[in-house]
Amino acid sequence: MTTTSNLSDYLPYKRAYLDDPDRPVPTGAPLTARISTEGRAGVRRVRIRDHQIISDSGVAGGGSDFGPIPGEFLLAALGGCLSHGWIMQAALADVTLHSLVIDVATTDAPEGSLAPVAYTYTVSVESDASEATLLRLFAIVEEKSYVYRVLTNPVTINGSVSEGAR
């Protein structure tokens, strides 16, 4: 599939931003999200900073299919983070990308389990760069991708229950 975009026009802007010594630098502050379950449909309203998105279950899961299921958000997070990494690394290496598409999927879950065995992704890129250069970018992106690292390295999740919604 050939996709045409103005991605190559964006990369110089991204490089200038990355080179700007006065640009805001990520602080490593904790990320937060709030999810509230609402009304008759059981839809989950996800609030992240000033953004809102809806999460739901498919009909087979007892939902109304008003939005993606949480596992699909995980796929989107992985693909979005990898895409951002490709843009950053291409800009830093002065590599022109004409288009970039990342497809992310899970493998089938074993019988009796909802958890997939593996995640797979394919990067489709149109570029004038050599295969060796693209493979170098691929390795750097995997090494630096926040979501990729979270999914491939053990992380601690601590939960608690409090009484009453706020």
pLDDT in tens, the chain (166 residues): 455 558 888 888 888 888 888 888 777 788 888 888 887 778 888 999 999 998 988 888 788 888 888 888 999 999 999 999 999 999 999 999 999 999 999 887 777 777 777 889 999 999 999 999 999 999 999 999 999 999 999 889 999 998 876 6
Q: Give the whole-angstrom CA distance, residue 116 versus residue 107.
A: 6
Domain 7-19+70-152 has CATH 3.30.300.20: yes
So what's the pLDDT on residue 142?
96
Does this model's pTM top 0.85? My answer is no
Q: Which residues pair with 80 in a beta bridge?
A: none
So what's the pLDDT on residue 41?
76
Q: How far is CA 82 from the centre of its chain?
A: 7
Instruction: Report the length, in residues, of the chain.
Output: 166
Extended beta strands in 10-154, E state: 34-38, 43-48, 51-55, 97-106, 119-127
Query: Parallel, antiparallel, or unpaired: how do β-strands 51-55 and 97-106 relate?
Result: unpaired
Q: What is the 3-state secondary structure (H, E, C) of 14-77?
A: HHHHHHCCCCCCCCCCCCCCEEEEECCCCEEEEEECCEEEEECCCHHHCCCCCCCCHHHHHHHH
